[in-house]
Amino acid sequence: MRYKVFSVPEIDCDAKGKVTVCDIAKDKLASRIKVLEVRMKEKVKSIEDAEVIVVAGSAVKKAEDLELIKRLADKLGGMVAVTRPLIEAGLADPRLQVGLSGRTVKPKLIITCGVAGAIQFVAGMDKSDYIVAINTDETAPIFNVAHYAIVGDMFEIIPKLIQQLDTKANAAATKSVC
């Protein structure tokens, strides 16, 4: 039952009914449910709480492509999110979908990879502090909301971004404090 499917019923002060008192034996009230096992459910971090999100769009066609997105998200300490086509293709959990039929997010940084920018998607992320869009189509609607636009193939750009992040991390690790 979804919220607000039915209207609130009208109060009928003239409604009548009959109360029937029944005696029920205590053994009939005892539960017959047998607990077979208790499992602790792992708490999953929600994309709504993430400060950095890397979104995979319809340019991602297979699980291996999604791994590239995950590597970038991991480097940035962020989470992976997806657009509806990836949910429909069975490549991701529906809880990772951004947009009107998914989650509304407002991270500090969102990087969209291969996302065209349908209005339903944009409605779920356009309040993000910084929006970076990577797409081969320079007329993609996502560029209308992006703060930074990268026109090119995400499969060439993302490995270079990861390499740059590794280089910066290595330089910072070897830098002397004194």
pLDDT by residue for the chain (178 residues), tens digit each?
A: 445 557 778 888 888 889 899 888 888 888 888 889 888 877 668 999 999 999 999 999 999 999 999 999 999 999 999 999 999 999 999 999 999 989 999 999 999 999 999 999 999 999 999 999 999 999 999 999 999 999 999 999 999 999 999 888 777 766 655 5
Total tally of structural domains belonging to the chain: 1
Question: Does 32 map to a domain?
Answer: no
Question: Does 135 map to a domain?
Answer: yes
Question: Does 13 map to a domain?
Answer: no
CATH number of 121's domain: 3.40.50.1220
Question: Does 22 map to a domain?
Answer: no
The C-alpha atoms of residue 32 and residue 26 are separated, in whole angstroms, by 13
The domain of 134 spans 47-172
Question: Does 31 map to a domain?
Answer: no
What's the pLDDT at 176? 59
Question: Does 162 map to a domain?
Answer: yes
